[in-house]
Copies of this chain bind each other. A is one copy, B any other.
Amino acid sequence: MDKHKEAIQARMQRERDQRIQSIQDAARSVFIAEGYTKAIMDKIALKAGITKPTIYQYFKTKDDLFFTLMLPVIEEIRIQLSNIETKLTAHKYRTGKAFIRDLFSSALQSYELAPETFLMIQYFQETGLVRRFNEHISHELNERGRHNFIMLRRVLKIGMEQGLVKRINVYVLADVLWGLFVGIIHLEHIKGQGKHPPMHLNTTMKVAEDLIAGILIAGKPAKKNDRIDVAVNP
């Protein structure tokens, strides 16, 4: 009669997952509506149709609950980059333009998976000007962020080796690209006053993409920064 027990266990697990899911859904909507500090745990519980102590049965702290909302976004970035890397190693890109377009569109896709959460990650990765997460959570965040960064650099390096884009110091280029991308998203988000999607995000991002493409593809003579594999950034 193991079958029976297993079935019950499975159902219980399903229910637990559902509850976690409903708490996260409620939390996300309250965080977005109220901001982190004004997102009151009792309100999240109310919205999830349960009581506060129940939340604390599934999540250790408010920070912890918040953290679980950020993970899927970081994971999405990883997946998107991984897809590009796969295409690269299969020599699917015939032009640098296509390569760069994929970089930008994959970044946009990560953002669109959960726009507000995407933005939150940027804040909360910061040195702690706003809040300090507990050690474990900020470590986890940093690790995953670092991992994605390494991946982006690897992808850029392969693109260079395949002659898709010009050879530039990958460490710096990765920073510039990511900075440009996140910076524009933030800006359009502010100016869009919370509307989704921000009105001019795509237009602006397209221009940025063209700029980067223009620089990375046009055959301007190599300059002093056009080195690769120089360990400048950590």
Q: Which residues of A are in contact with B by a Cβ distance under 8 Å?
A: 31-32, 34-38, 116, 119-120, 122-123, 125-132, 145, 168-169, 171-173, 175-176, 178-191, 193-194, 199-200, 203-204, 206-208, 210-212, 214-215, 218, 220, 223, 225, 232-234
Q: Are A172 and B119 in contact (CB under 8 A)?
A: no
Q: Are A176 and B211 in contact (CB under 8 A)?
A: yes
Partner among B36, B128, B180 whose Cβ is within 8 Å of the Cβ of A129: B36
A59 to chain B, nearest CB (A): 19
By secondary structure, the A interface counts as helix
Q: Using Cβ atoms and an 8 Å threshold, which residues of chain B touch A191?
A: 175, 233-234
Decide: A128 near B172, CB < 8 A? Known: A180-B180, A182-B186, A183-B180: no
Partner among B35, B168, B180, B225 whose Cβ is within 8 Å of the Cβ of A131: B35
Closest to A132 in B: B35
Q: Using Cβ atoms and an 8 Å threshold, which residues of chain B touch A193?
A: 127
Q: Using Cβ atoms and an 8 Å threshold, which residues of chain B touch A208?
A: 176, 179-180
Decide: A179 near B180, CB < 8 A? Known: A32-B129, A200-B232: yes
CA distance A211 to B206 in the complex (A): 16
CA distance A224 to B211 in the complex (A): 13
Q: Using Cβ atoms and an 8 Å threshold, which residues of chain B touch A175?
A: 184, 187-188, 191, 200, 204
Closest to A180 in B: B180
Q: Are B129 and A126 in contact (CB under 8 A)?
A: no
A107 to chain B, nearest CB (A): 12
Q: Are B186 and A204 in contact (CB under 8 A)?
A: no
Closest to A175 in B: B204
Decide: A187 near B179, CB < 8 A? Known: A131-B36, A225-B207: yes
Q: Are A214 and B220 in contact (CB under 8 A)?
A: yes
Q: Are B204 and A131 in contact (CB under 8 A)?
A: no
Closest to A127 in B: B194
Q: Are A127 and B190 in contact (CB under 8 A)?
A: yes
Closest to A208 in B: B176
